[in-house]
Every structure is written in structure tokens, then in C-alpha cells.
Amino acid sequence: MVRSPSAQPNPVQLEFWFELASNYSYLSVMRIEEATRQMGVDLIWRPFLLGPIFRAQGWNNSPFVIQKAKGDYVWRDMVRQCAKHGLPWVQPSVFPRPSVLPSRVALLGADQPWVGDFCRAVMTRNFAHDEDINDPASVRTILKNLGLPADQVMTDAVSEANQGKLRTQTQAAMNKGVFGAPTFFVGQEMFWGNDRLDDALAWCGSVRPRDHDG
């Protein structure tokens, strides 16, 4: 069933916790806005950093780096998954890429209409073009291409207040039980991994509007 947002004054909310350095987040970032729009689901963008969450688990890197067998598999899996989803794919020559600057921008814009376009552009750089995503020049270029006041956005993104907000957001992820990315919440119901995005969307369709807040 396709519900138009206008017919749904209090649409069901899908919280999307993602990390711009995460390859499985890439798969979700590229399709989640269109998928939720078609369902009339309210998409809440929640960028956060996986690094502190991995460190809290005692890991100094991505499990795809620490566990070699899993890492080897993941890069083959990504080839197949991207083919399945019709997405371009180049294995990043640096993984995981530092992502703190674009994450700060994404958090700053999380409620803005441009957040989806921005995140897709960052993900495309990382996983389709194998390009750095953390240098100010590339972030500035993405913002300018979106017709945004790049200088102002960059200044606000690196402000002390916004830096603190990203730390708080990452801590909030940990407090909610997030241990990887992407993770989706419909109310208290948690779904981990791009493999569960369709289940999370189906869950949205099964709850009454704002049921999940109760």
C-alpha cells in the first residue's frame, strides 16, 4: 500500500542510524529515502560514528579489518549486493575511511531537505569513486553542488556545539544498544543491517501511526 504523506498527519517514524564509512550503510543510504517516501513513512536521519562503539567493545578497528576471513568475504558480498541493488561499487582502497567531517555536516543537516542528497553524494565518493570523504575540499564541493552556502555550513558543522552533538548522538546510539551500522528503529523495535531494512519497512506498515510511541 502506498500512503501519501499528506494523508497521514502523524506518520510512522523510521529512525535510520548510519555511519558514512560503513559499506553496508551505503546500501541503505542509497535507497532508504525513496523507499520511506513511497510508504509515507517519516524518515529520521541519525548519523553517528562507529569508531567509539567499536572501541567500547575492545576493538581498535572495523571487525572487517580485525577478522580477516570475514573481511575477505565482505568485499565479495558487496560486489553481489551492489549488483542486486543496481548500485555502482568500487572496493575502497582505504577502509574504514575517516568520516568525522561529513558526519558532522550530516548531523547538522539531519532535519534539512538536503540531508539525503548530501549523504548519497558522500557514499558515492566513498564506495563508487574510491575517494576521500573527510577532506574539507571534497565536502565543500558536495555542498556547493547541492546549491548550499558551503562556507556557512562548514563553519557550523565544525562548531564546538555541533561537535558535541555528534558525540552525544554516538553515545545515544550506544545507549540504545546499537553495535553496528546501519541500524533501524521503529519505536523500540530494533533492526540491524541493510538485510533488515525491508523488514523494518514492513514493520512500519504493520503499526498504526504513532502506535510505536506508546
Binding site for its own copies (CB under 8 A): 57, 67, 69-70, 72-73, 76-77, 80, 84, 174, 177-180, 189-193, 195-196, 199
Least distance from C-beta 56 to its own copies, angstroms?
9
Least distance from C-beta 16 to its own copies, angstroms?
16
Q: Report the residue number, 84 or 208, with the smaller CB distance to its own copies.
A: 84
- For residue 92, give the nearest of 53, 134, 57, 59 by alpha carbon: 134
CA distances (Å), 35 to each of 40, 79, 86, 128, in order?
9, 22, 15, 21
The beta-strand segments (E) located in the chain are 13-18, 42-47, 183-186, 189-192
Least distance from C-beta 58 to its own copies, angstroms?
9
Q: Report the residue number, 7 or 69, with the smaller CB distance to its own copies.
A: 69
- For residue 184, give the nearest of 5, 40, 59, 12 by alpha carbon: 12
Provide φ and ψ at 121, rounded to 5°: -65, -40
- Judge contact between 201 and 35, C-beta under 8 A: yes
In angstroms, rounded to a whole number, what is the distance separating the alpha carbons of residues 161 and 164?
A: 5
Least distance from C-beta 72 to its own copies, angstroms?
6
Q: Report the residue number, 77 or 151, with the smaller CB distance to its own copies.
A: 77
Q: Report the residue number, 19 or 33, with the smaller CB distance to its own copies.
A: 19
Q: Report the residue number, 69 or 161, with the smaller CB distance to its own copies.
A: 69
For β-strands 183-186 and 189-192, DSSP reports them as antiparallel
| Cell, residue 3 | 500512503
Least distance from C-beta 189 to its own copies, angstroms?
8
Least distance from C-beta 113 to its own copies, angstroms?
32
Q: Report the residue number, 76 or 144, with the smaller CB distance to its own copies.
A: 76
Q: If residue 49 lies in a helix (H) or strand (E), which one and from where to where?
A: none
